[in-house]
Amino acid sequence: MRSPGELKKEIEARLKGYLSRDRDGIRHELLNLFVKVKSLTIPQIYEKLQKQFSISYHSIASMVGIIASRIGILHVRRNAEGTNSIYELKDQYVDVVAKILGTT
């Protein structure tokens, strides 16, 4: 099992790789939203990002899914009605994400 320090370094490397493929700034802005707001649903994210970028609802859902599953920095909570899932940036990664966003 990896230590918390090793895990943070792994997450940092994954985030840097993910952001290195960000041509138009959408991924950067998406992560920035999570640092600022912490807890969001896909419709909320879509509403905010569509003002700045030409992007589809499904593209945003896909990006959030990748961040949650492959990078592993989001916690997914189902709401009581079972409609929209709530995605939250895990507390232990807020500083890592903020630092990387500041350097990229």
For residue range 37-79, what is the model confidence (pLDDT) as tens digits?
A: 989 999 999 999 999 999 999 999 999 999 999 999 999 998 7
Query: What percentage of the chain has pLDDT greater than the value 70?
Result: 97
90: three-class secondary structure by DSSP: coil
What whole-number distance in Å separates Cα of residue 6 and Cα of residue 9? Answer: 5
What whole-number distance in Å separates Cα of residue 90 and Cα of residue 31? Answer: 12
Task: Judge whether residue 103 has pLDDT over 80.
Answer: no
Identity of residue 19 = L
What is the edge-to-edge ordering of all strands in the sheet holding 39-40? 39-40, 85-89, 74-78
**Taking the model in full, what pTM does it have?**
0.89
Confidence of residue 84 (pLDDT cuts 50, 70, 90): confident
pLDDT for res 104: 58
